[in-house]
A and B are shown apart, each in its own frame.
Chain A
């Protein structure tokens, strides 16, 4: 009898240890992939060009993104009518400000910004902070082992509720994503390229250069985000202080 109990305890401990280790692996994968998409502790600056094609009409917008950790300051550069507009990210809180406003506006992560790209896509990505990962399956893409993770939102105010995320085992970078509805059906699909390099801890690491987001239903509607000239840069904390945006 006591032998059985000991065996059960041992078996349970082993099972929980395996699960814990598995969860650790999944989270490490996600953290590693986030680094190539701007989630670095040190300051990072890049320009983002968003080309949106919707119902045959094409528009181009440019932003300057300054990110440090979980904070980001996204300034609109083009078109001229949007120049001076600022999106400020303080952890998960997001603000919109333009010079004519008396106070900044708190906006939801779900508030669509432009075409298929949401505001959350333009700033740096912190999926490891916002989502719980779970390996769904392992696939081979172009002969490369790829983990397919199902990311479930930790909070209900995030841009997406669920994301299916393909992370390369070799490079530890996300290569594609499916943004899912609550019912689990894809409504947007994204592919990512990493042709940029940034210096991190004295090493040159790959950084995202292009993200193409396509509407799952209307395939001609898409947004292409180009990440231009990324560089490590220290940012003053005041840059991310909401009080500095008030008139």
Chain B
């Protein structure tokens, strides 16, 4: 009965109801789209970091190897014996492990036979490269991050294990212009030189196969991707800088990292496990998400504030107009609590209707925006990616709960304080 009456009351002042409803709806659309955008970006950057940047869900380093490997690689590399020890510890997680990989990083000089320029290299095992590029998560969330060059690189390594990929700017520094695929065979051959783990200068022949971009302007003059074995040969090692663990169930990352570190500590094993979202592992992911979460927090505050103020304004006006009516309700025996609840129900009705309309409008906006195929280049990502919006069910449910709670609480509190007047005063109020 009360709910029906509350619903009917919405139509008593249609203009005000529409204005308040529009404010709630705009807030709902704003939060839904903002949340949907952040969700899409998070999933994309996560897939990029885990699969395309080859960090894995969990990364294992020699103890302090994350910070100190570059200064003393021989001391902080994961030797084959170390890798076996880690694999032993991973056996108990075998059901959730998709696969494990190894990576090697280093610096040196790339030479065209006339001049040499510095490079920063990353070498990842072929299995990881191959599986990562075709992984369903990448196909679903990070398809834009995937370039044809990445796919060509894997193909090139399979054909020639000395194949490397360098950035266009690094190529230009050694007088090699993109597309590298079109270079004559003689120009494709270059030499990589670097200090090996014994502290000696070493060099290997390599074959420029494709180009890539690092997504970081700072790294564009030096980016080099090489097969894991080629870098092992260059740095005269059979070890690796780090191991990557790829999981089937992403929700168990934190638990696994915590358990692994506990095991390493208890068994005095010199290793450190890191989740992919550690700032030292995926600085771009952490930086971008930190910025987005801060921005989202600010917008949530603004939107919720605007919605709450609209409700306060609307209800205050309603109470002022309906003072005598409220007085009559009180006179025939309604308790202030009941009247407050009825007016709260009116606000909740408005919130539900605005929310439903908001979801429909948000869905239309999502279809239009995604259809426009707007692209942009986020930091740390190789290629321009599509500005994608989505509507996430969990997020909509969460936003609905927040709005219902916000609207309900605001309206109950406003009416509760306004209804403290005496019945006589309410009945004699002029409404001014």
Residues of A near B116 (CB, < 8 A) are 105-108
| B204:A107 contact, CB within 8 angstroms | no
Interface contact A100-B205, CB-CB below 8 Å: yes
| 8 Å CB interface, A50-109 against B | 52, 54-55, 59, 61, 81-82, 85, 96-98, 100-108
- Is A38 in the interface zone, CB < 8 Å from B? no
B261 at the A interface (CB under 8 A): no
- Interface check A185, CB cutoff 8 A: no
Stretch in contact with the other chain, from B77-85, B139-147, B163-171, B191-199: B191-199
B150 at the interface (CB under 8 A from A): no
When distances are taken between beta carbons in the complex, the residues of chain B under 8 Å from A108 are: 109, 116
**7 smallest A-B Cβ distances: which pairs?**
A103-B113, A105-B111, A105-B193, A105-B191, A106-B116, A105-B203, A102-B205
Contact of B191 among A54, A82, A101 (CB under 8 A): A101
Residues of chain A contacted by B111 (CB below 8 angstroms): 103-107
Nearest CB in chain B to that of A54: its residue? B199
Which residue of chain A is the closest to B192 with respect to CB atoms? Answer: A105
Confirm or deny: B236 has a beta carbon within 8 angstroms of a beta carbon on chain A. Answer: yes
B residues 165-206 with Cβ under 8 Å of A? Answer: 189, 191, 193, 195, 198-205
- Whether B204 contacts A103 by the Cβ 8 Å rule is no
Q: CB < 8 Å: which of A102, A113, A115 contacts B201? A: A113
The interface on chain B, measured as residues whose beta carbon lies within 8 A of the other chain's beta carbons, has a size of 20
Contact sample, A vs B, 25 pairs, CB 8 Å cutoff: A54-B199, A59-B198, A61-B200, A81-B198, A82-B200, A96-B193, A96-B201, A96-B203, A97-B203, A98-B203, A101-B204, A101-B205, A103-B191, A105-B111, A105-B116, A105-B203, A106-B111, A106-B115, A107-B193, A107-B201, A108-B116, A112-B195, A113-B201, A115-B199, A119-B201
Q: Which residues of A contact B114 (CB under 8 A)?
A: 106
Contacts of A112 in B (CB 8 A): 195
A61-B200, A104-B191, A119-B201 given. 16 additional CB < 8 A pairs?
A54-B199, A55-B72, A59-B199, A102-B189, A102-B205, A104-B113, A105-B109, A106-B111, A106-B115, A106-B116, A107-B111, A107-B116, A108-B116, A111-B193, A111-B201, A113-B201
State the Cβ distance, B364 to closest chain A Cβ, in Å: 60
Check if A114 is an interface residue, CB within 8 A of chain B.
Answer: yes
**CB < 8 Å: which of A61, A81, A101 contacts B203?**
A101
Q: Is the CB of B109 within 8 A of A102?
A: no
Are the CB atoms of A81 and B236 closer together than 8 Å?
yes
Query: Using a CB–CB distance below 8 Å, which chain A residues touch chain B?
Result: 52, 54-55, 59, 61, 81-82, 85, 96-98, 100-108, 111-115, 119
Nearest CB in chain A: distance from B192 CB, A? 8
Q: Give CA–CA (A104, B109) in the complex, Å.
A: 12
Name, among A100, A101, A102, the residue most crowded by chain B CB atoms within 10 Å (CB to CB): A101
Output the nearest chain B residue to A114 by Cβ-Cβ distance. B199
When distances are taken between beta carbons in the complex, the residues of chain A under 8 Å from B109 are 105, 107-108, 111
B370 to chain A, nearest CB (A): 50
Residue of A nearest to B111 (CB): A105
A188 to B26, CA, bound (A): 67
* Chain B residues whose CB sits within 8 angstroms of the CB of A102 once the complex forms: 189, 191, 205
- CA gap between A97 and B204 in the complex, in Å: 10
B contact residues around A105 at 8 Å (CB): 109, 111, 116, 191, 193, 203
CA separation between A82 and B191, bound complex, in Å? 17
Chain A residues contacting B113 (CB-CB under 8 Å) are: 103-104, 106
Q: How far is the CA of A82 from the CA of B198 in the complex (A)?
A: 10
Residues from chain B with a CB closer than 8 A to the CB of A55 are: 72
* Chain A residues within an 8 Å CB radius of B199: 52, 54, 59, 114-115
A74 to B231, alpha carbons, bound, how many Å? Answer: 26
Query: Which residues of B57-116 have CB atoms within 8 Å of chain A's CB atoms?
Result: 72, 109, 111, 113-116
Q: Give the CA-CA distance A81 to B196 in the complex, in Å.
A: 12
**Is the CB–CB distance between A100 and B189 below 8 Å?**
no
A103 CB contacts on chain B under 8 angstroms: 111, 113, 189, 191
Q: How far is the CB of A190 from chain B (nearest CB, A)?
A: 19
Closest chain-A Cβ to B224's Cβ sits at a distance in Å of 15
Q: Within 8 Å CB of A107, what residues of B?
A: 109, 111, 116, 193, 201
